[in-house]
Each structure stands twice: as structure tokens, then as C-alpha cells.
């Protein structure tokens, strides 16, 4: 779909340095504080809420798996699987997914256990990048800044990272 806004959701501003950027950072010290699983979950939930809120405003739904890479077979997986419904769910490329499964897959991607590109029938997309960022494509005429929770930053990008 042409006429898309390409957005990047991140916990970072451009000036944030020395902050955690992955679930594997749990247990490390950042800014003289121990990074805990509780703090990780707090921020991951902000991302899930942001994705949910954006999709609710723009009316995107009916997502299918366009591309994926499953990393759940790698070592150190068990340390990353907590507070996820059905972390070993089976998926296939081209498969349409339920909204419930959408958020489970988002959690798996944020924890670097999977990489996905999800596309809706009306051209919206969700994909995941390094350093705990989510990229979304939504119709150009939609304004979503007001539904982004505090602690998540929204930046416009010039284009779809996978075009």
C-alpha cells in the first residue's frame, strides 16, 4: 500500500547510551542499577500496549506471517521464556494469525527468540529490529502519537525497512 507512515517504536531517545537493549541484559548493571526481570516486563508490556493501541486506532487486523525466522532452537532459550502464553507455538509462513497469537509472537520477537514480518490485508505491517525496536507501517492519514504510552518513543522513518 502506498501512502504509508513508517514508524519506529523504541524505548530509547537518540541520546540514550549505556542502557539495556535485550532480554539477555537481565541481571546486568545499568546506570548503577541492577536490570531485573520485573523491569524488563514493565517495558515489554509498554511495547505490547503501544502495538495494541496503534492497531486499535488504525483498524489494522487480519495479519499474516510474511517472513519469519524461528530462533527458539538456539541455546539459552529457557532463560528468555517467562510470562509468555504458549512460547513454543508452531507457525508457518503465509499463515493468518489471531490477535491473541499476534501478541505472543510480538513477545517472542522482542526477546530475540523469533524474527517476523507481519502484514495485514490492507497494507499495514509490523516487523522487529535490533536493540528492542518495533517498526510498523500504517495508513498515512492516521495520527497515533496520543496512544503511545509514556516510556516508548515514536519516530517516523522514510520507508519500509524491507522494501
Cell numbers for 37: 526481570
What per-residue confidence (pLDDT) applies to 54?
Answer: 95
DSSP 3-state assignment of 19?
Answer: coil
Q: Would you say residue 149 has pLDDT above 90?
A: yes
- Residues 33-68 have pLDDT tens digits of 999 999 999 999 999 999 999 999 999 889 999 999
What per-residue confidence (pLDDT) applies to 16?
Answer: 60
DSSP 3-state assignment of 56?
Answer: helix
Cell numbers for 59: 483498524
Q: Would you say residue 143 has pLDDT above 70?
A: yes
Other beta carbons within 10 angstroms of residue 159's beta carbon come to 9
Query: Average pLDDT in the 89-109 region?
Result: 93
CA gap 133, 128 in Å, rounded: 6
Q: Please say whether the beta carbons of 119 and 125 come within 8 A.
A: yes
CA gap 150, 133 in Å, rounded: 15
What per-residue confidence (pLDDT) applies to 148?
Answer: 94
CA gap 38, 146 in Å, rounded: 26
- Which DSSP category does 149 fall into? P
Amino acid at each position: 500500500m502506498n501512502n504509508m507512515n513508517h514508524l519506529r517504536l523504541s524505548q530509547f531517545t537518540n541520546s540514550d547510551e549505556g542502557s539495556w537493549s535485550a532480554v539477555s541484559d537481565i541481571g546486568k548493571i545499568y546506570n548503577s542499577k541492577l536490570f531485573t526481570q520485573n523491569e524488563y516486563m514493565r517495558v515489554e508490556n509498554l511495547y505490547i500496549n503501544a502495538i495494541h493501541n496503534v492497531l486499535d486506532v488504525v483498524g489494522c487486523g487480519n495479519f499474516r506471517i510474511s517472513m519469519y525466522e524461528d530462533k527458539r532452537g538456539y541455546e539459552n532459550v529457557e532463560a528468555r521464556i517467562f510470562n509468555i502464553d504458549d512460547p513454543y507455538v508452531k507457525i508457518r509462513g503465509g499463515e493468518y494469525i489471531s490477535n491473541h497469537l499476534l501478541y505472543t509472537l510480538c513477545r517472542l520477537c522482542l526477546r530475540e527468540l523469533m524474527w517476523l514480518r507481519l502484514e495485514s490485508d490492507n497494507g499495514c505491517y509490523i516487523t522487529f529490529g535490533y536493540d528492542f525496536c518495533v517498526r510498523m507501517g500504517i495508513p498515512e492519514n492516521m495520527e497515533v502519537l496520543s496512544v503511545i504510552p509514556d516510556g516508548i518513543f515514536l519516530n517516523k522513518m522514510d520507508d519500509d525497512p524491507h522494501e
